[in-house]
Amino acid sequence: MSEEQKSDLFIQQIQNVLLHDWDPINIRKDASMQDEYDAYIADILDILENEQATAAEIADCLQAIEHDYMGLAKNPARAEEAAGKIWQYFEEFLA
């Protein structure tokens, strides 16, 4: 698999986690809104560029998005679960 294909797969994995595991506004079943969370992928990638990044930072980012951008209460359990999956995919991406 080329580096570009590997990167594309990683982005798709993040998209899937945001839509199916995180999904704070419950849109996963609405086909017209499948790209609703794509704008937040860049925020996650920015975190992962730092060599000292952690899954906890991703969870904090997801909670900030829920609260600051969506006006929702933070949901630490949901954010931590999603961040853990993203982190696992990130480790696979680096391998």
Q: pLDDT (tens digit, 9 = 90+) per residue, 43-88? A: 999 999 998 999 999 999 999 999 999 999 999 999 999 999 999 9
For the chain, the structural domain boundaries read 3-94
Q: pLDDT (tens digit, 9 = 90+) per residue, 48-60? A: 999 899 999 999 9
Q: pLDDT (tens digit, 9 = 90+) per residue, 2-56? A: 889 999 999 999 999 999 999 999 998 898 998 999 999 999 999 999 989 999 9
Joined together, the tokens standing for residue 82 give 């999603």
Q: Inform me whether the pLDDT recorded for 1 exceeds 90.
A: no
Asked whether the beta carbons of 79 and 59 are under 8 A apart, the reply is yes
CATH topology of domain 3-94: Endonuclease III; domain 1 (1.10.340)
Burial 52-76 (b: 16+ CB within 10 A, else e): eeebebbbbbbbebbeeeeeeebbe
The rounded percent of the chain whose pLDDT value lies above 90 is: 87
Q: How far is CA 33 from the centre of its chain?
A: 16
With residue 79 as reference, give the H or E element that holds it: helix 76-94
